[in-house]
Amino acid sequence: MTSPAVRILLCDDHAVVRAGLLALLGSEPDIEVVGEAGSGEEAVALAARLTPDVVLMDLQLGEGIDGVEATRRIAATGVHVLVLTTYDTDADITRAIEAGATGYLLKAERPEELFAAIRSAAQGRTTLSPPVASRVMARMRRPLPTLTDRERDILGQLSQGLGNRDIARALFISEATVKTHLGRIYDKLGVDTRAGAVAVAKEQRLLP
Amino acid sequence: MTSPAVRILLCDDHAVVRAGLLALLGSEPDIEVVGEAGSGEEAVALAARLTPDVVLMDLQLGEGIDGVEATRRIAATGVHVLVLTTYDTDADITRAIEAGATGYLLKAERPEELFAAIRSAAQGRTTLSPPVASRVMARMRRPLPTLTDRERDILGQLSQGLGNRDIARALFISEATVKTHLGRIYDKLGVDTRAGAVAVAKEQRLLP
DNA sequence: GGCCCCATCAGCCGATCGGTTGATGCGGGG
DNA sequence: CCCCGCATCAACCGATCGGCTGATGGGGCC
């Protein structure tokens, strides 16, 4: 006997991308798209109602909750979420994985890889795009500095262009504390100026 | 008699997006996709060979020349280029228009808008997505500060986290000159610190 | 209870930055 | 030819930053 088709729910805010996935997946007999969502909220609701085998989730969703939050909620219900997104920064990958994603694919991936990843995800097996896998391995080998929550707060204020005094006031701490945090942030990001820190923060998408 | 179908060339580095456009445009009898390109170089070559009525061009193309450069080369041959991209920052819009784009659409746009824009572009008429049109109008009303080439150089170095002395050395000018440029950059970007300048630069995609 | 991470704060000092004023030279447009 | 935008440079000064050493206290974890 043949196993039933893998049931898929799409979530992407771009109609063009949804149409593309629909078209590509339509050519695969063992994959069936059972629903489409254009927002995170919609995806969470549809996932609960349709209980698909796999949700294909974009991380950037425009309005409303983002892909990470949607992934968290859907994964919590036991449904497999396969992230399909454009960026492969450490921060995005880390957030998606800790939110419970089953796999992480890049949109630049060849369609065949996508099909394979979907079949894997349906069985709970993990698939990572090669560049993503590389980053994960690198991270394991040399545990890249992870910013603490407080450090992210500081970095956020810094990215507004604020001086130490203003950051201190905004976060209700002393200037000395701000300087201490900044020093550690520089260390972790491998820079030695505030401008450099902001550059890395934006580049690596460390801030929302 | 009915006019012949509008002949389209797609250019996007993501197979998923190309498939999506192919699927969406396939439902329109008066629109025919005559070619697909996954890189800027490919698009330029195919445009020359196929002479389509409209090229649908993404601005972010990964490897090789970017969408702006591809647009410039294709538009120079008299072929209409309709930019279809994700971002609507002033810098991207400006660059695309000055490269000769006939229109500027966002991927988040509804498919019907896309069809209409393609038909317009085929006749050389301009179509802009509403958010894009708004920005263009706003820019006309209050001519947003445009950075000079040199100021962009300085900003680029600043975004590497360099100090004034290093910037001066890198660009073979004096520290005093760097400071002068920085002052003007702050004014134009509406900030008063280097960190703020870098933040705006990254946010607005002012740098490559 | 000890250990470690995190967050908090202090004081010091040299280096850097940001603002200001003013000046020169070059090129294009009217 | 004159004006203006652009790039270049100088000198000055107060404010800020970055690096340093060192200290305190709260939570987990074993």
Segments making up each domain of chain A, as ranges = 6-140, 149-203
Residue in this structure with the two tokens 């006309």, named with its chain if needed? B140
Flag whether pLDDT at A86 surpasses 70.
yes
Least Cα separation, residue B1 to chain A (angstroms): 32
| A152 CA to D22 C1' distance (Å) | 25
Q: Between B134 and A35, name the one with better pLDDT.
A: A35
What SS3 string covers chain B?
A: CCCCCEEEEEECCCHHHHHHHHHHHHCCCCEEEEEEECCHHHHHHHHHHHCCCEEEECCCCCCCCCHHHHHHHHHHCCCEEEEEECCCCHHHHHHHHHCCCCEEEECCCCHHHHHHHHHHHHCCCCCECHHHHHHHHHHHHCCCCCCCHHHHHHHHHHCCCCCHHHHHHHHCCCHHHHHHHHHHHHHHHCCCCHHHHHHHHHHCCCCC
Average pLDDT, chain A: 92
Nearest to B82 by CA among B49, B42, B45, B109: B109
B110 in A contact zone (CB under 8 Å) = yes
Q: Is the pLDDT of residue B29 over 60?
A: yes
Residue B2: predicted pLDDT: 59
Tell me which of A12, A107, A198, A205 to substitute to probe the interface with B (most B C-beta atoms closer than 10 Å): A198
pTM score, two decimals? 0.85
Interchain contact, B24 vs A18, CB within 8 Å: no
Quote the radius of gyration of chain B (alpha carbons, Å).
Answer: 20
What's the mean pLDDT when you consider all of chain B?
A: 92
| Residue B11 near residue B43, CB atoms below 8 Å | yes
**Predicted confidence (pLDDT) per residue in B116-164, tens digit:** 999 999 999 999 999 999 888 777 666 667 899 999 999 999 999 999 9
Which residues lie across from A40 on neighbouring strands?
none
Total number of residues shown for chain B: 208
Query: Coil, strand or helix: which one is A95?
Result: helix
Domain A149-203 classified CATH 1.10.10.10? yes
- A69 pLDDT higher than 90: yes
Instruction: Work out the number of other CB atoms within 10 angstroms of the CB of residue A112.
Output: 11
Q: What is the mean pLDDT of residues B98-114?
A: 92
Q: What is the pLDDT of residue B51?
A: 96
Q: pLDDT tens-digit profile of B163-178?
A: 999 999 999 999 999 9
- Give the span between the Cα atoms of B67 and B78, in whole angstroms: 17
> Which CATH number is associated with domain A6-140?
3.40.50.2300
Cβ contact A107–B198 (<8 Å): no
Which of A50, A91, A99, A104 has the alpha carbon at shortest distance from A75?
A99
* Residue A15 contacts B, CB cutoff 8 Å: yes
Q: Which nucleotides of D are covered by protein (CB under 7 A)?
A: 6-11, 16-23
SS3 state of residue A187: helix
Backbone angle region of A190, left / alpha / beta, with phi > 0 → left and psi within -120 to 50 → alpha: left
Question: What proportion of chain A, given as a percentage, has pLDDT over 90?
Answer: 81
